[in-house]
A = this chain, B = another copy of it.
Amino acid sequence: MTTQTSTATVDEAVRAATRAQDDVAGAPYETRATWLEALADALDANADELVALADTETHLGPQRLTGELARTSAQLRLFAGVVREGAFLEVTIDHDTPTATPPIPDLRRMLVPLGPVAVFAASNFPFAFSVLGGDTASALAAGCPVIVKAHGGHRGLSRRVAEIAVSALADAGAPSGILALVEGREQGVELVSHPDVRAVGFTGSVGGGRFLFDLAVQRPEPIPFYGELGSVNPVVVTPGAAAQSLDDVAQGLAGSFTMGVGQFCTKPGVVLAPAGTGLAEALGALVPAEAKPLLNDRIGDGFRGRLGELATHDGVEVVAGDATSDDRAEASPVVLRTTVADVLAAPEVLLEEVFGPATLIVEYADLEEVSAALAAVPGSLTATLHAAPGEEAAAGLLADLRRVSGRVLYGGWPTGVAVSHAQHHGGPYPATTSVHTSVGTTAIRRWLRPVAYQTTPDDLLPPELREANPLGLPRRVDGVLESSGS
């Protein structure tokens, strides 16, 4: 039975999480940090087994998977640091000011955990966006129990990671119920609808994501749904860049759109290049004819369906690769070409994500056409500019690219998402369903809500808010930021 839950029913998992929530939220921050580190250590200690298991289910290859696991444990350790520092609590203290309008009583504000969080794992990052990925790491760091809905594309790995994680958490003294795994589509629906689930993190398709988003906001008590759905990640190559560094651009693009067999949320899917400079041909000459295995047949079907729709559309030319194959299991890179006029005639077909190793070169006549095309691009996670040094158009193009995305790159390629404080992984819909990030340290804020205490005696305040700052937290006191403890 493919829709059966492996370890718990949804209701059991949510009840256990609800029972655990006060203990999870109430543990000292140092303890919470060690839970995250215990998970990181457990991942690292079992890396060989997990990478091998992941490879059998996703075909992504040991090298990529080894790197992804290392990134995932580094992410858990980064959040341990966030928990120890405590700035994420946003402690704010206003002493009473009887002369203000209206008078200000003693007010002390901090962020507190929302409660049980549902996390939907993605197909394409079996470690970094799965059981112990960024959503789970940031939610645990926030003090929320997590129920992960496993992705059907790597069930065995999900179960094994969950087993290792639950055991590591128990060994580290974390409350039972802090983490659980459930499986199955219906179970996912039940999870989003469960009255005790307080927020949802999701990475996946526009169709599945919007369906669950609609469920979350139609509940009697709507809950936040932080979804990352789909992105075409536009790239603009200026005339200057095409003239000065066409080969470098073509090589970088070839590497980026075929990375992970094109199965990246940040894959550059639409590339605006000056007509007549030969980027499409240069790119076509670089991509290998060799096919590589896709994640699974369902991904293969989706790729073939969207690619066929695109490749046979008016004004679209197949420059390189086999766009008519019906191979569900494997794919070789495909380079397509069209014009801005054709894109603007059918943006709903030509500017929709193709999940897999294909990219569409859109040739433009002038920069006005670039702006017109960018205005039609759906909200994206990233947007990239390749320009020549000092090229005058760069500033205006960066402004256009910022309007449509959440991460703007000057040079370089969008695949590969660094996990750091300044990272943002999000963008206008459908890139994400909210303005928050799902990668980087501020992802923690999604699982927290503010609470203000008014005129509360010091000994009845949470330690985070006490006058003497016993936890040494960064605070804003009477409007002034203090970067470290008193």
Which of B67, B429, B450 makes the CB contact (< 8 A) with A435?
Answer: B450
- The residue in chain B whose Cβ has the minimal distance to the Cβ of A199 is B435
Contact B423 A109 (CB under 8 A): yes
Q: How far is the CA of A207 from the CA of B102 in the complex (A)?
A: 30
Q: A interface vs B, CB < 8 Å? A: 67, 70-71, 74, 81, 87, 90, 92-94, 97, 100-105, 107-109, 112, 114, 213-214, 217-218, 221-222, 224, 379, 389, 394-395, 398, 402, 405-412, 416-424, 426, 428-430, 433-437, 440, 442, 448-457, 460, 474, 476, 478-484
Query: Which residues of chain B are near A436, meaning CB under 8 Å?
Result: 450
Contact A410 B456 (CB under 8 A): yes
User: Nearest Cβ in chain B — how far from A143, in angstroms?
Assistant: 13
Contact B67 A408 (CB under 8 A): no
Q: How far is the CA of A480 from the CA of B474 in the complex (A)?
A: 11
Contact B448 A411 (CB under 8 A): no
Q: How far is the CA of A482 from the CA of B94 in the complex (A)?
A: 21
Q: How far is the CA of A407 from the CA of B395 in the complex (A)?
A: 45
A455-B412, A456-B398, A481-B483 known; A406+B450 contact, CB < 8 A: yes
Query: Which residues of chain B are near A221, meaning CB under 8 Å?
Result: 379, 428-430
Query: Which residues of chain B are near A412, meaning CB under 8 Å?
Result: 105, 454-455
Q: How far is the CA of A90 from the CA of B90 in the complex (A)?
A: 12
Contact B435 A102 (CB under 8 A): no
Query: Which residues of chain B are near A454, meaning CB under 8 Å?
Result: 407-410, 412
Q: How far is the CA of A199 from the CA of B442 in the complex (A)?
A: 21
Query: Which residues of chain B are near A420, meaning CB under 8 Å?
Result: 94, 97, 100, 104, 107
- The residue in chain B whose Cβ has the minimal distance to the Cβ of A426 is B450
Contact B450 A424 (CB under 8 A): yes
Q: How far is the CA of A428 from the CA of B114 in the complex (A)?
A: 10
User: Nearest Cβ in chain B — how far from A380, in angstroms?
Assistant: 12
Which of B74, B405, B451, B455 makes the CB contact (< 8 A) with A402?
Answer: B451
Query: Which residues of chain B are near A416, meaning CB under 8 Å?
Result: 102-103
A104-B420, A402-B112 known; A482+B479 contact, CB < 8 A: no
Query: Which residues of chain B are near A482, meaning CB under 8 Å?
Result: 483
User: Nearest Cβ in chain B — how far from A115, in angstroms?
Assistant: 9
Query: Which residues of chain B are near A394, meaning CB under 8 Å?
Result: 460
Query: Which residues of chain B are near A395, meaning CB under 8 Å?
Result: 460
Query: Which residues of chain B are near A433, meaning CB under 8 Å?
Result: 222
Q: How far is the CA of A481 from the CA of B406 in the complex (A)?
A: 23
Q: How far is the CA of A191 from the CA of B379 in the complex (A)?
A: 21
A71-B101, A102-B416 known; A92+B422 contact, CB < 8 A: yes
Contact B114 A435 (CB under 8 A): yes
Which of B398, B435, B448 makes the CB contact (< 8 A) with A224?
Answer: B435
Q: How far is the CA of A360 from the CA of B53 in the complex (A)?
A: 61
Which of B81, B402, B453 makes the CB contact (< 8 A) with A408?
Answer: B453
Which of B74, B217, B407, B440 makes the CB contact (< 8 A) with A101?
Answer: B74
Query: Which residues of chain B are near A108, meaning CB under 8 Å?
Result: 422
23 A-B pairs in the complex with CB atoms less than 8 angstroms apart: A67-B102, A71-B101, A94-B423, A102-B418, A105-B418, A221-B379, A224-B434, A224-B435, A398-B460, A402-B451, A405-B451, A406-B452, A407-B453, A409-B456, A410-B454, A410-B456, A421-B476, A423-B452, A424-B452, A435-B450, A474-B481, A482-B483, A483-B483
Which of B104, B424, B430, B450 makes the CB contact (< 8 A) with A442?
Answer: B450
Which of B109, B405, B419, B476 makes the CB contact (< 8 A) with A424?
Answer: B109
